[in-house]
Every structure is written in structure tokens, then in C-alpha cells.
Amino acid sequence: MKSMQKGFTLIELMIVIAIIGILASIAFPAYQDYTARSQAVEALQATAGIQGDVAVDTANAGSLTATTDTIAAAQDLEGKYFKAKSASVTSGGIISVKFDSGALNGQTMTLTPTLNAAKNQIASWKCTGLSKNNTLPSGCR
């Protein structure tokens, strides 16, 4: 009687390893973009209160502006990927967040308000400044 050996041949194993390598080469960059986007969303959410303050300042003044209290409040913002004093607001209401760690380390995300047709309220916020557009949060592209 012949005994049959069971198992995989070397060729079969090498094909499986090649397929896993191809899948990993596709998945890894997509995962990096996903990670960077989640870090950018953190900055967007951390500045939500400041966005509201700029909206109130703009409604009170009748033009795009930020008061000294709003500008000072932005300095206190802190997140997992940006330190205190890394966020700032200009007198024109433009918010900037400089990332100190993570996938976006060294990059600055800028949130620029857009006024409505009557020029007395903020209609939307546009995010810019990151090296890749696909890492910007989808809510403000």
C-alpha cells in the first residue's frame, strides 16, 4: 500500500504569499489615508465651539469677524494630535490648527468661513491646507 502525503506544495504556498502581498500593498495606503482623515476630523470637532463663537461674532457685527475673546479661547484648544496653542483664529474668523503628532504631523488645517447671500451669517466652512485632499473631512471639502 502506498501512503499519500498531505499538505501544500511550495508553489501553492508562494502563490498564497504573493496574493497576500498584493492585497497588503493595496490596503496599507488606504488605511493610512483613513487614519489621517480621522485625525483631521478630530481637529474639526475640537474647533466646533470656536466655529459657533465666530458665527455669533459675525451675526452681532454684521460682517465676518472674531472678537478677542474668541481669539483667546482658540489658544486653549487641545486634542490628541495637536497641543494647546496650536489652534488659532484670525480677526477675520479663519481658524487654523497645526498638528503636532500623528499622520498629519507638521501640517496645518485651515477652516475658512463662507458668508450667506445676505452677508450676515456663515453658510459653510471650507477646509484646506493638508497635503492630500482626501485626508480632509468630507463635511468641509
DSSP 120: S
Query: What's the mean pLDDT in 74-100?
Result: 93
Strands 95-98 and 87-89: antiparallel
Count CB neighbours of 6 within 10 A: 5
Query: Mean pLDDT over residues 77-98, rounded?
Result: 93
Residue 86 has a CB neighbour count (10 Å cut-off) of: 19
* Res 1: pLDDT: 61
Q: The C-alpha cell of 140 is what?
A: 468641509
pLDDT tens digits, one per residue of 109-119: 999 999 988 88
Continuous H helices in the chain? 10-46, 48-61, 68-74
Nearest to 34 by CA among 137, 121, 115, 141: 137
CA distance 112 to 12: 55
